[in-house]
A and B are shown apart, each in its own frame.
Chain A
């Protein structure tokens, strides 16, 4: 067997393997591997089929998004921020625009706030659907991914309807939205809301009523509360251990405190709990979407601060001042007062925090994102070590990392 020498690995910077004895085997999983959800590389030290040590390696998808954002104006940066967590771009949008608006001290009109909440929750469902589908696929339930994506397709169609883009809508803007909702959107949403509950039950039944599935996830890949907190886990992965920390409840933004929803928590912190927490969260998001749709107020969908958003076309044609605003915003953007701010939101993967520093110009001086996936990935060894190699798939799948976000 062409094994590489331990020196090879130490040379690569892994603190592995001077101790590697004869019965153990190093298995490099990824970055190209069917179940690593992108480009995670795990270096496993195996004894038989048991994982003795696991070292995650990240960085294969580094795109320099934070630095790129610092070279774009405040409004333009949204488009690159979008591309971090490519499964829930609107959550990235949301964190960023809330942070910029906090720096600006800007209030957005209630319609914009409600639409943001509604779409962010739809995004959460879409993201969890991808997770559900890939988890099913990883465990061998091939049909799952198609069924889940079919449901997600409806959500993406709605995004396309409002913003023109399916995957990276860049729909939330500093000061409000990119455009108002269309009448067609509401019809599509109501259709989808009607379709969702039945499909949701079917998808759950396909997984949860299958003894093989339950056998594979129960008691596998558990992490204790203390470890979860120490490793900085957030989101469903943390809540599965029983810690009820959800940014939407703990530090409410956009008026989440006025909505009626639960935060599902688990007890054991194992794969099954992570699965249940996410599945139940989809239902809570469904409730939130319904509530937001009911209370969707009429009115403006962006601020009327003409220094932040472009004035409407008819005003530009009639008024010199508005023309100047228009020209200034398009060519230069707007200045943001000097200062720094950290805004966390609850993305589908956990606490998505945006830290911004402004030096008073039209571009951010520093953009730094706290991506929940990064912390979640780092806890994988904690969950995996001592388990079997077959549990690798269920652990990685239920941690639900997105590498666009981990590597940025």
Chain B
């Protein structure tokens, strides 16, 4: 009954990539619009009505830009790094279900490419791989700014991943499964944000650090390191890093939604997928809001915060949850 043949998976993957790219393009537009409004500006409004053709213009520009590779760069790794970033970003999204399986006639179409029984682990694995793109890109550029950006990024992502994993375990203990759709099902009566408030806060802070957004955007700290790890990148390769960053943003927003906000669950007057999109949009908006408002943390403070505050609290949270699950 489940048509999970190779053909079906390929079709779903293609659809996912196209959808993600479109969402990325318009997310970029909306981010610029929202930032504009936060800044008392208009935002892009010249290309097309309400600036709607702006993503196309951006894309065309990026493709036609000269592709510059620094003379001293390690050419192979330099070209490989953005590919890693982009691949990992898309691959991570593969296990995210955006709604319950869709029934069309007697076909059942699952709304994710795969729903493995270790979905959370797959996600963690892929998001951890993302650091390679950044570290290698920064290293291969042979620029000091890129190098510093890459070093910072590596340190930051590794330290915050720990907290992220720790806070995740709380949810997994409560749900009793690593499969994302099971976790959503487990939130039928009560969202995990209510039962795991500390875990939610920890998780959200660490994913912000994980995707390098303000106030944790140190790897690309514009005013210190020019553009951090992608200083030397131009044209489409630069765009690949940008796409990866935004897709990661969508991924982690979806993850927060799935783990803590009941995924696609919501009152029945809207279809589940719409609920899911609304919740994800809320978190994406939160990312943009923070970007407009918050200053950047200093590197040493960031590390200290990660190791001395976030990690111990995450441990405590985990122990408390485990005790509750064991003795209830």
Contact = CB atoms under 8 A, between A and B. Distances in A.
Interface of A: 1-2, 25, 27, 33-35, 49, 136-143, 146-147, 150, 206, 210, 212-213, 215-216, 388-393
Contact of A210 (B222, B223, B292, B295): B295
A140 B39 contact: no
A140 B148 contact: no
B224 A389 contact: yes
Nearest to A215: B301
12 contacts: A27-B145, A35-B224, A49-B300, A139-B295, A141-B293, A142-B38, A142-B292, A212-B215, A212-B296, A216-B297, A390-B299, A393-B223
Contact of B297 (A35, A150, A215, A392): A215
B226 interface: yes
Contact of A216 (B40, B148, B295): B295
Nearest to B145: A27
Contact of B295 (A212, A388, A389): A212
A141 B223 contact: no
A4 to B, nearest CB: 11
A140 B294 contact: yes
Contacts of B299: 49, 388, 390
B61 interface: no
Interface string B143-161: 0110110000000000000
A260 to B, nearest CB: 34
Contacts of A1: 72, 142, 144, 147
Given A140-B296, A212-B296, A215-B301, A393 B291 contact: no
A2 B72 contact: yes
Interface string B275-302: 0000000000000000111111111110
A47 to B, nearest CB: 13
Nearest to A1: B142
A147 B297 CA distance: 21
A206 B214 CA distance: 16
Contacts of A392: 224
Contacts of A388: 298-300
A158 B299 CA distance: 42
A384 B214 CA distance: 25
Interface string B187-207: 000000000000000000000
Given A25-B144, A140-B217, A143-B39, A213 B295 contact: yes
B296 A142 contact: no
A36 to B, nearest CB: 9
A212 B214 CA distance: 11
B297 A33 contact: no
Given A1-B144, A2-B72, 8 more contacts: A1-B142, A2-B142, A27-B145, A140-B221, A142-B35, A146-B39, A212-B215, A388-B300
Contacts of A140: 214-215, 217, 221, 223, 294-296
A390 B217 contact: no
Given A27-B144, A212-B215, A392-B224, A142 B291 contact: yes
A34 B215 CA distance: 18
B308 interface: no
Contacts of A138: 223
B75 interface: no
A139 B215 CA distance: 10
B212 to A, nearest CB: 13
A388 B300 CA distance: 9
A213 B38 CA distance: 19
Interface of B: 35, 38-41, 71-72, 142, 144-145, 147-148, 214-215, 217, 221-224, 226, 291-301
A193 to B, nearest CB: 20
B295 A141 contact: yes
Contacts of B40: 146-147, 150
A390 B299 CA distance: 7
Contacts of B38: 142-143
A390 B294 contact: no
B157 to A, nearest CB: 17
A140 B300 CA distance: 16
Contacts of B297: 212, 215-216
A210 B40 CA distance: 21
A167 to B, nearest CB: 21
A328 B297 CA distance: 62
Contacts of B291: 142
Contact of A34 (B35, B144, B222): B222
B280 to A, nearest CB: 23
Nearest to B222: A34
B148 A389 contact: yes
A140 B38 CA distance: 14
A49 B152 CA distance: 10
B292 A143 contact: yes
B78 to A, nearest CB: 14
Nearest to B35: A142
Contacts of B223: 34-35, 137-140, 393
A139 B296 contact: yes
A139 B144 CA distance: 21
Contacts of B39: 142-143, 146-147
B148 A141 contact: no
A357 to B, nearest CB: 42
Nearest to B70: A2
A269 to B, nearest CB: 19
Contacts of B214: 140
A34 B228 CA distance: 12
A137 B222 CA distance: 10
B144 A390 contact: no
Given A142-B39, A143-B292, A390 B298 contact: yes
A101 to B, nearest CB: 41
A391 B298 CA distance: 8
Nearest to B300: A388
Nearest to A28: B144
A216 B72 contact: no
Nearest to A216: B298
Given A142-B35, A390-B224, A49 B296 contact: no
Contacts of B298: 215-216, 388, 390-391
